[in-house]
Amino acid sequence: SWRQPPHKKSFNAKSYIIPGLMVAYGITAIENDGLQRLNGEFKDEMYAEHPHKQIHIDNYLQFAPAAMVFGLDAFGIKAKHNLRDRTMLFLMSNIITNASVYSMKSISHQLRPDGSKYNSFPSGHTAEAFASAEFLRQEYKDVSPWYGVAGYAMAATTGYLRMYNNKHWLSDVVAGAGVGIISTKLAYWLYPKIQHKLFKDKPMNTMVM
């Protein structure tokens, strides 16, 4: 059956609604008293009422879904894209994620729940984790939906641990998740168009970033 070339695929706005609402929730919570109280209640439940030793696995878990994309393919479970395109998609997703996170952090200037820094919103670890989870889902959704489920479970655990470690508010984590998902979706929409423009008349034996 005829399939539309990837670079001609239209922008699917519907797929951005849920992550967009997650980002909107986080932004709204900055000035909303009710959502601020909810943030405080989550902090009390997760840390303030039961202080505990921090678990630093979230520093590594955020990258686990992306590592699976490259690892599974190396073990013969073929991903949707070849190594070059996967690498470019992952880099592109990370560029969008990091640019979004750091610009939002500098603009919002929100204090972390542990009082350490004014860069709480949104959660960068959570954004990276969900960007990686969506990357895993995109590459393996045609093999099995369970790969995506596993990736999102790891991402959700990362977000949970950011609150457990008293590093982020609930709204930081929700918004970070939305930013990560949107970033990878944008990368998968943009990359075929960039690839077509730059390399339509050239052999793609060189990678430039």
For every residue of 68-84, DSSP letters joined together read: HHHHHHHTT---SS-HH
Mean pLDDT of the chain: 92
Question: What are the tens digits of pLDDT across the range 123-135?
Answer: 999 999 999 999 9
Q: Are 100 and 31 in contact (CB under 8 A)?
A: no
First-to-last CA distance in the chain?
35
pLDDT at 8 over 80: no
Structure tokens of 44? 């009390």
Question: What are the tens digits of pLDDT across the range 158-168?
Answer: 999 999 999 99
Question: What are the tens digits of pLDDT across the range 152-193?
Answer: 999 999 999 999 999 999 999 999 999 999 999 999 999 998
What mean pLDDT do residues 53-63 have?
95
3-state class (DSSP) for residue 167: coil
pLDDT at 201 over 70: no
Report pLDDT for 7. Answer: 66
Structure tokens of 11? 């922008």
Report pLDDT for 176. Answer: 98
Return the half-sphere exposure (C-beta side, CA atoms, 13 A cut-off) of residue 163.
Answer: 20
